[in-house]
Copies of this chain bind each other. A is one copy, B any other.
Amino acid sequence: MRPVICTVDTVLLALRGDELVVALFKREHEPYKSVAALPGGYIHPAEDLDAYAAAHRVLRDKTGIEVPFLEQLATFSGPARDPRGWSIAIAYYALLPYELLAQAQKPAMTLINADRIHTLPFDHKLIIDTAVARLRNKSQYSTLPCYLAGDTFTLPQLQRIYETLMREPLNKVSFRKKMAEMNALEPVEDQMDTGGAHRPAQLYRLKAQFRGNLQMLRRGL
């Protein structure tokens, strides 16, 4: 009886303008060698404390980045998803600011629109679709989209991020009330947005206690 193949796969997401992109990497090994696919790899029992640590390791190795947000998505399994045999992929999704992803550009990496995925090896299309659905869903009632902004950001910038994810315009007054209600942001003292010929906006950052975590709204946006 052949053992079950145990892997982790990660969906690394960022916002490039108003486009949600996912990072694919040219595969170094068979199967599907040199085809673009989600970054993933075998679990290393000798090295990994758990699957979360394995996902972190995979992303660190492929991108050199310590991602600010990484969460388990779901586990995909079965005999057909991997030609090597019956396999398990514990899938994670990670969010990061586009600037961070762009400056760590690796030759094997390509960014593609996460809403227009066509054919990919394994069941990676299904995994990406699941991750995007989860991100869009959680955006309705949590601080999740903050991880797609930089370390500091203005409320108008953040609102544009939410609007892009939710694909609908949001009311400015309500949006600010909801952000205040979550109580997860703090103003950055004496700092303002660089910008054009107009009033600068207050800069904010996630409070330290919420970095890596999420804060939920009782009622969504």
Contacts and interface: CB of A to CB of B under 8 A. Distances in A.
A88 B85 CA distance: 18
A43 B193 CA distance: 54
Contacts of A74: 72
A77 to B, nearest CB: 4
**How many copies of this chain?**
2
A78 B4 CA distance: 16
A45 B219 contact: no
A17 interface: no
B6 A49 contact: no
A122 interface: no
Interface in A1-36: 1-4, 6
B90 A78 contact: no
Interface string A59-87: 00000000000001011011100000110
Contacts of A169: none
Nearest to A7: B4
A188 B72 CA distance: 41
Given A3-B3, A72-B75, A219-B219, A86 B45 contact: yes
Contact of A78 (B3, B50, B78): B50
Contacts of A148: none
Interface of A: 1-4, 6, 43, 45-46, 49-51, 72, 74-75, 77-79, 85-86, 88, 90, 218-220
